[in-house]
Amino acid sequence: MEKLTPTLMSWASILEENTRRQAEKTAQMPFIHPHVALMPDAHLGLGATVGSVIPTLGAIMPAAVGVDIGCGMIAVRTQYDVASLPRDRKPIRQGIERAVPLNAGAANRTVSHDHTRSRLERLRALAEEAGFDPTTYAARWELQLGTLGSGNHFIEVTADERGSVWLFLHSGSRGVGNRIAQHHIAIARDACAGVELPDRDLAYLTEGTPAFDAYVREMQWAQTYALLNREEMMDRVVRELGTWVGGEVERVEEINCHHNYTEREHHYGQDVWLSRKGAINAEAGRDGLIPGSMGTASYVVVGKGDPVSLRSAPHGAGREYSRTAARKKFSADDLRTAMAGIEYRDTDAFIDEIPAAYKDIDQVMADAADLVEVRHVLRQLVNVKGD
């Protein structure tokens, strides 16, 4: 850990200068308590750095939570081992691609499962309790429950160091969460129109105001949506695995965690609003998930409860190249080489997701050694992504 300023602590051994400057701007906001914790996977974000943990008193910066509210991971360990799987992995990839709408803006055609209806009923009730109608943000929010999206979101069949098969996926609150975030970011900018800010995307909402209360209610709803969205997709992936192997799938272990969210926590003697933008809760004994990139290892971890990190840990590898820069530097052949031995959809659309566009996950995990203990290392067998 390195103390970069009195209010900025960093665990990132790989840190670009523009990322550092951005984090320093966030850390100088007057309501930070006690400091911003910069995770090993830190990289440039909108307003606040991706891979930062931001504790605030009496205010929340919506852009510091991020536009994919509640984005995170879910993993299920099954009773199967690699030796028991069929050799041809293409059918399971194609089955998942049929069962889960993948791309940006994608939606289900209908609501066809009881478990989907049950989750939607819960979300409708929570929205009514929160006093808003999600349809005003996204008309198809109900049909997007159980959809992946694109970018760095993925679904994988993986195996740990003992050969146990895990199902692993990454997604968030889809279109409705994005629009809730964008709406309140705009309100925060208007509220701070006369305030001098180091970055306009550090605009904030003040606790005790109607705008603050509305954001918290809707943000918490979107976080629940994201959690249930991952559960819904996992149900479908479990079903596809069962079809592929020709048997029932037992969920031996299941972990579901956010890495873009805000919640009330107690740190350094104060109750704060803790925004984790690209970070997971790593309180002592808490299970968590840290993915690499497509083609590299992911980790099942348990938190060590480090107080200086605000009981947090990285959420993944973190980008080293922007999408535009990655497309200029790497080719489809480079991606094929990186994905050797892994079943995936071979398309130029994923060039900007090549593992080399991300930080070395092994270095990220080495930097996080004081934050988490590694329980399992997962290696991909099958990768599914949206364009």
117 secondary structure, DSSP code: H
Give me the mean pLDDT over the 276-285 stretch: 97
DSSP string, 184-227: HHHHHHHHTTTS--SSGGG--EETTSHHHHHHHHHHHHHHHHHH
Strands 36-43, 8-10: pairing is parallel
Of 43, 184, 315, 376, which one is the catalytic site residue?
315
**Number of compact structural domains in the chain:** 1
- Span 217-256, pLDDT tens digits: 999 999 999 999 999 999 999 999 999 999 999 999 999 9
User: Does residue 46 register a pLDDT over 90?
Assistant: no
**DSSP annotation of 249:** -
Read off the pLDDT of residues 114-155 as tens digits, 9 standing for 90 and up: 899 999 999 999 999 999 999 999 999 999 999 999 988 999
**Residue 43 corresponds to which tokens in the numbers above?**
């990289």
| CB neighbours of residue 86 within 10 Å | 11
Domain holding 115: CATH number? 3.90.1860.10
pLDDT category at 113 given cuts 50, 70, 90 is: confident
Query: What's the domain range around 83?
Result: 2-385
Which pLDDT band, with edges at 50, 70 and 90, does 319 fall under? confident
Catalytic site residue 315?
A: yes
The pLDDT score that the predictor gives to residue 103 is 85
Compute the average pLDDT of residues 62-73: 94
Q: Of 265, 320, 254, which is closest to residue 289 (Cα–Cα)?
A: 254
Q: Is the pLDDT of residue 318 over 90?
A: no
Name 2's Cβ contacts closer than 8 Å, sequence gap at least 6: 9, 10, 11
Q: For the segment 355-382, what is each residue's pLDDT rounded down to a tens digit?
A: 999 989 999 999 999 999 999 999 999 9
Looking at residue 32, what DSSP letter applies?
B
